[in-house]
Amino acid sequence: MILYGYFRSSAAWRVRIALNLKGLSAEPRYQHLRKGEQRSPEYLAVNPQGLLPSLVLEDGAILTQSLAICEYLDELHPEPPLLPSNPVARARVRAFSQVIACDIHPLQNLKVLKALEARGQTPEETQVWARDVIASGFDALETLVAGHSRPFAFGDQPSLADICLVPQMANARRFGVELRWPRLLAVEAACAALPAFADAHPDRQPDAE
């Protein structure tokens, strides 16, 4: 398999964690987001959205969108599971994950922040925007996991929810968000103790700057 990513891309980070948890490997191909390499004709032929990540399977099939990729990996390699077997629990994990992947992350990613600046916002104003988006989303996430006391977001082993949370916590720090959510911090700490999460960290990637 080939994984197109960038060391700091939250979405690519999620897939790296999922691959590690499953004991799978993929050849990395790097697209430097700040240099616009994801908009090159060569990469657009892989992913017409010009977004990361993309996973090219051994038969040449191309998968995009991090959550879809993670669920594909989970279906093909069910151990350890990334989603609970109980339908209600599975829906809750998916909902938590989608709060991050659909509602928080897209509003504070590089493409949106550049668009805001192009429409007249100052860099300082875009930073405030990003912090507000993250903080309001984290308020909801803290409530969603408030009733769960086990090490990870929804149980004794990491799920898709944890895979999504860890990169978003790093984004929060990068934007200067004051992390005032004890349950989210506890989950992040439990994840950080696992090699699958530690090895996926941006600082450990060959293209890290």
- Whether residues 74 and 109 fall in one domain: no
Token duo for residue 158: 């990491």
Token duo for residue 90: 């599975």
pLDDT along the chain (209 residues), means of 10: 97 98 97 94 96 97 98 97 97 98 90 88 89 96 92 97 98 96 98 98 96
**Domain end: 35, 59, 80, which one?**
80
- Whether residues 97 and 190 fall in one domain: yes
Report if residue 136 sits inside a domain: yes
Residue 179, CA distances (Å) to 74, 100, 142, 171, 194 in order = 31, 16, 11, 11, 21
Report if residue 205 sits inside a domain: no
Report if residue 206 sits inside a domain: no
- Whether residues 59 and 159 fall in one domain: no
Q: Is 129 exposed, middle or buried (0-12, 13-18, 19+ CB in 10 A)?
A: middle
Token duo for residue 132: 């507000």
- Whether residues 72 and 130 fall in one domain: no
Residue 130: domain span: 87-196
Report if residue 190 sits inside a domain: yes
> Distance between CA 119 and CA 37 in Å, rounded?
23
- Whether residues 27 and 95 fall in one domain: no
In this predicted structure, what is the pLDDT of residue 105?
Answer: 93
- Whether residues 64 and 131 fall in one domain: no
Report if residue 192 sits inside a domain: yes
Report if residue 37 sits inside a domain: yes
- Whether residues 23 and 114 fall in one domain: no
- Whether residues 148 and 113 fall in one domain: yes
- Whether residues 116 and 161 fall in one domain: yes
Total residue length of the chain: 209
Report if residue 10 sits inside a domain: yes
pTM: 0.94
Into how many domains does the chain fold?
2
Report if residue 126 sits inside a domain: yes
Residues with Cβ within 8 Å of residue 205, at least 6 apart in sequence: 7, 16, 28
* 22-40: pLDDT as tens digits: 999 999 999 999 899 999 9
**Domain end: 16, 49, 80, which one?**
80
- Name which of 14, 103, 23 is nearest 67 in CA terms: 14
Give the CATH number of the domain where residue 43 resides. 3.40.30.10
User: Using H for helix, E for strand and C for coil, what is the string for the chain?
Assistant: CEEEECCCCHHHHHHHHHHHHHCCCCEEEECCHHHCHHHCHHHHCCCCCCCCCEEECCCCCEEECHHHHHHHHHHHCCCCCCCCCCHHHHHHHHHHHHHHHHHHHHHHCHHHHHHHHHCCCCHHHHHHHHHHHHHHHHHHHHHHCCCCCCCECCECCCCHHHHHHHHHHHHHHHCCCCCCCHHHHHHHHHHHCCHHHHCCCHHHCCCCC
* 101-112: pLDDT as tens digits: 999 998 888 888
Beta strand 27-30 with 2-5 is parallel
> Distance between CA 48 and CA 42 in Å, rounded?
10
In this predicted structure, what is the pLDDT of residue 48?
Answer: 97
**Domain end: 35, 60, 80, which one?**
80
- Whether residues 118 and 57 fall in one domain: no
Asked if residue 154 lies in contact with residue 145, where contact means CB atoms within 8 angstroms, the answer is yes
